[in-house]
Amino acid sequence: MKKFVKSNKYSLIIALILVFISSVFSTIVQFNKGDVLDNALARDKSITLFSIISLIIFIFLEIIFHYFYDQYRAAFTVNCISQLRTSLFKNTINNNYVSFYKNTKGEFLSKYTNDVEMIQNSYFATIPLLIEIIIKIILVSIGLFILDWRIAIVTLVLLTTPLYIPKIIDKKLQKAKKEYSEAFENNLSKVTDWLAGFEIIKNYSIESRIIDKFTTSNKYTMQKALKNKRINYTTNLITTLISYLSYFIILTLSATFVYRQIFTAGDFFIAIGMIDQLSYPLIALSVFIQDLISIKPICDEIMNIAEMKEDDESKRLNPATLTVNNNILFDNITYGYNEENPLISDFSLLLQKNQKNLIQGRSGTGKTTLINLLLKYYTPDKGNIYLDNIPIQDIDNLFGIITIVRQEAFLFNDTLKNNLSMYSDISDEVILDVLEKVNLHKFANLSSLNMDIAEGGNNLSGGEKKRLCIARALLRNTNVLIFDEPLANLDNENVSTIEDILLNINDRTLIIVSHQFSESKLNQFDKIIKLDA
Ligand SMILES: Nc1ncnc2c1ncn2[C@@H]1O[C@H](COP(=O)(O)OP(=O)(O)OP(=O)(O)O)[C@@H](O)[C@H]1O
């Protein structure tokens, strides 16, 4: 978190200078108030009038400087949060495939919304307020010492006692906040999952079951929220009680000073004003300390993601390895998701440049796993994979060489053109040409390129989505193209169209994973690999 504070240090420093000036005026105002009373009691009209005018001026200055302080404080908080969110998103996008899929989308969303909001309120917004209060305490203490050193010492000793309360129960505070954050994360994961399965919920008429599950999860989350709030309110109550008790002790002491004629009425007024000035900040200070203590585990957790080392693959580009000139070699590899039971054993395969390869096999034989090993998502337990005789782990930017098209055709909620060009500079003519190639004649015109694709491609048919994903892959000039189950969930007509489109791809090393390619077209492949053989 400190790095965000550091990068916004100028708005913080300006805010603190402004609040320092405002606090000086507010301390002067307390003395002015006493002067007004003393001058009025002395029945000195012109001096009373003068002190009232100066009081108004100082109050005005205090308010104005505080207003500008608020502006800079807001800028500091908002900029810190904006940078934290950017780091969080950037590191999540730069994450590697395996780590990304370990967490649910709900967990990310919960961190991005709820946790970031808690950090905003309990950390970034608290820092300037905490410093403001410390400045106030110092200035008021100086003011009290100017007034009377005995009052100053008694005030400071008594009014600072509430500060120790949060420290005493810091473990409890941290635990309560963390439990709430985890419960919220879990609830959001489930809600995201249920919303993704909306059609299935409707189709199987399980709305009431899902609502029951939601109610249980929501109730648990809210119980944790309540527990968190209750602990906070309990410490607030103790702090407030101690503060008020201290207040009355100091008030009594000041009254005694008036009785003994050590204080004038004006001095009494100033002392009470000062204590008022101090007691609220001290109560608030204990709340802020409480916030800073309890938010620490959440800050640490979020920083683990926001400060994660960026994925090397996305950062580095090694032009020397950007083409595959000869071949891809799976050299005697063994891999299993659990070590005792390998899924792929002593597997070797040579795929040559610009050849068409078909990987077949029953469901669960490890076809997708083989592709994922080639993409470096997993590392073989034994053996290795080479591109042009270079071990793949030594190749910096594998995605500059390989394009993968998965079974689920994914399209972004953006224009057709952006979905095809993937924001790179490709001319409209080239895009239209590829659309013709994949038999999407109805989209092969300039006005269609600007059409909006709905979220998840919901305004397109399954076959159209698949063909658009193939077009997108063709537009990317990588040497290796992988299609993982490109024919899944398509009708016969679409299957035949897509088979022909794929078999017409030349000058690329083509790897198609499919168990349903038409027998009559198998002879067009250079190599057929049967995984269950
Ligand atoms: N991340 C994972 N963790 C543990 N087991 C996995 C993981 N991914 C796949 N498996 C298991 O590995 C086996 C092979 O899965 P894989 O997806 O490679 O098969 P496939 O041949 O592509 O199957 P299909 O044709 O059904 O897509 C399956 O039994 C699957 O349950």
Conformational region of residue 364, where left means phi above 0, alpha means psi within -120 to 50, and beta covers everything else: left
Q: Whose CA is nearest to atom 5 of ligand 1?
A: 337
pTM: 0.72
Per residue in 383-399, pLDDT (tens digit) is: 999 988 888 888 877 88
Computed over its alpha carbons, how large is the radius of gyration of the chain?
34
Amino acid letter at 503?
L
Q: What is the predicted pLDDT for the residue at 383?
A: 92
Please report, as a single letter, which amino acid is at residue 136.
K
What DSSP line would sit under 271-315, residue for residue? HHHHHHHHHHHHHHHHHHHHHHHHHHHHHHHHHHHHTPPPPHHHH
Q: So what's the pLDDT on residue 307?
A: 75
CA of 380 to the centre of ligand 1 (A): 15
Rounded to the nearest whole angstrom, what is the distance from the C-alpha of residue 343 to the centroid of ligand 1?
9
Alpha-carbon distance of 470 to 419, in angstroms, equals 11
pLDDT tens digits for 294-342?
788 888 888 877 776 554 444 444 444 455 666 899 999 999 988 778 8
Take residue 347 and report the two structure tokens written for it: 């597997």
Measured by CA distance, the residue closest to atom 24 of ligand 1 is 363
Predicted confidence (pLDDT) per residue in 158-190, tens digit: 777 767 776 777 788 888 888 988 898 888 888
pLDDT above 90 covers a percentage of the chain that reads 27
Ligand 1 atom closest to 370 (CA): 18
Q: Whose CA is nearest to atom 17 of ligand 1?
A: 368
Give the residue whose CA is nearest to atom 10 of ligand 1: 337
Give, for 531, the enclosing helix (H) or strand (E).
Answer: none
Output the CA 377–ligand 1 centroid distance in Å. 13
User: Which strands sit side by side in the sheet containing 356-360, from one edge to the other?
Assistant: 402-405, 480-484, 509-513, 356-360, 527-530
Distance 366 CA to ligand 1 centre (A): 6
The protein residue with its alpha carbon nearest to ligand 1, atom 30, reads 364
Ligand 1: centre distance to CA 313 (Å): 24
What atom of ligand 1 comes closest to residue 361's alpha carbon? 21
| Among protein residues, the one whose CA lies closest to atom 18 of ligand 1 | 366
Report the nearest-CA residue for atom 25 of ligand 1. 363
Q: Supply the DSSP string of 485-528, one letter for each residue.
A: STTTT--HHHHHHHHHHHHT--SSEEEEE-S---GGGGGG-SEE
Read off the pLDDT of residues 7-30 as tens digits, 9 standing for 90 and up: 999 999 999 999 999 999 998 998
Question: What is residue 511's predicted lDDT score, i.e. its pLDDT?
Answer: 94
Q: Is 195 exposed, middle or buried (0-12, 13-18, 19+ CB in 10 A)?
A: exposed
Q: Is 221 left (phi over 0), alpha (psi -120 to 50) or beta?
A: alpha
Q: Which residues line ligand 1 (CB under 6 A)?
A: 337, 343, 361, 363-369
**Residue whose C-alpha is closest to residue 115's, from 303, 326, 307, 353:** 303
Domain 321-530: what homologous superfamily? P-loop containing nucleotide triphosphate hydrolases (3.40.50.300)
- Residue 399, Cα to own-chain centre: how many angstroms? 25
Distance of CA 500 to the CA centre of its chain: 44
Measured from the Cα of 366, ligand 1's closest atom is: 18
Which listed CATH number (1.10.260.30, 1.20.140.160, 1.20.1560.10, 1.10.10.60) goes with 2-312?
Answer: 1.20.1560.10
**DSSP per position, 136-169:** HHHHHHHHHHHH-HHHHHHHHHHHTGGGHHHHHT
d(CA 522, CA 486): 15
Domain boundaries, the chain: 2-312, 321-530
Q: What is the ipTM of this complex?
A: 0.96
